[in-house]
Amino acid sequence: MESSLLNIPEESYRVRLEVFEGPLGLLLHLIRKNKVSIFDIPVALILSQYLEFLDLMRELNLRIAGEFLEMAATLAYIKSRMLLPRHADEEDEEDDPRMDLVTSLMEYARIREIAKELSNRFLLERDVFARGAPIGAGTREDQEFEAGLFELTSAFVELMKRAETAPPMEVKMDAVSLRRRMVELLSQVKKHAQSGLTFQKLIKGLSSRSDAVFTFLAILELMRLNAIKAFQHEPSAIIRIFPGPRAWVPLPLVEDF
């Protein structure tokens, strides 16, 4: 990815996004995206994409948790070990430098599967209800799953790559203007509370690249504050944005970010 993709000045406002998925989630995401086998991970390829993702997060001024850097170091180490010639007499799987990583990834994949099975049960207050429901206007949400950071960022990068806009210009970004954008966006989302606001359309409809970046950051901040939620039917499908549980609570002041 060329570093000029998003031209955000160094000292601009730093978004303090809680990374709600870890490095293992990102690795599984990349393995799935590249349709490669978990038992034969092309480490060099995955590492370069992994680093691209970190670069992008850095460019967006997202706080990168230490775990992500640790995993990058592990991948780099594995890659270097794989370049070393292996002894002919110990070429069995035990010697594969990827072993530990594969084990962690499989353990994690198993947890994800259990999590999915749990989520597929008839959950109280979601699928089934006991007596005593307070009566009032309900909110509608269907069986989509929540889109996380990776889904949103992937979709955003795709849009940015496709957009043939004018050369990037300096984005003047500060907490005050970010907050203003968040307020505008939130009221837009609340107006479309029933059908949701389409992320892709929202970004495409903006005239400049800096507007797009700004809007994207506002979305991430609003997600962190639980003011909005993003949902998606399946990976790489349209992402729709709905008001979250804290949509009607006043946004915190700039100092509180």
Binding site for another protein (CB under 8 A): 18-25, 28-29, 31-32, 35, 37-39, 65, 67, 71, 104, 106-119, 121-141, 145-146, 148, 229, 234-235, 245
**Burial, 30: exposed, middle or buried (Cβ in 10 Å; 0-12, 13-18, 19+)?**
buried
For another protein, give the closer residue by CB, 140 or 162. Answer: 140
Q: Provide the 10 A C-beta neighbour count for residue 252.
A: 12
84 vs 135 by CB, closer to another protein: 135
Q: Rounded to the nearest whole angstrom, what is the least distance from the CB of residue 145 to another protein in the complex?
A: 6
Q: Give the span between the Cα atoms of 242 and 257, in whole angstroms.
A: 22
Task: List the end-to-end C-alpha distance of the chain, in Å, as a whole number.
Answer: 30
**Nearest approach, Cβ of 101 to another protein (angstroms)?**
11
Nearer to another protein by Cβ, of 31 and 203: the residue is: 31
DSSP conformation letters of 34-88: HT--GGG--HHHHHHHHHHHHHHHHHTTBPPPHHHHHHHHHHHHHHHHHHSPPPG
Closest approach of another protein to the CB of residue 58, in Å: 18
At 133, which amino acid appears? A
Q: How many residues does the chain have?
A: 257
CB-nearer residue toward another protein: 102 or 251: 102
Q: Which lies closer to another protein via its Cβ, residue 28 or residue 159? A: 28
Least distance in Å: CB of 123 to another protein? Answer: 6
Side chain identity, residue 256? D
d(CA 81, CA 87): 13
Residue with smaller CB distance to another protein, 94 or 234:
234
- Smallest distance from another protein to CB 232, Å: 11
Other residues' Cβ atoms within 10 Å of the Cβ of residue 32: 11
CB of 139 to another protein, least distance (A): 5
Backbone angles phi, psi at 200, to 5 degrees: -60, -45
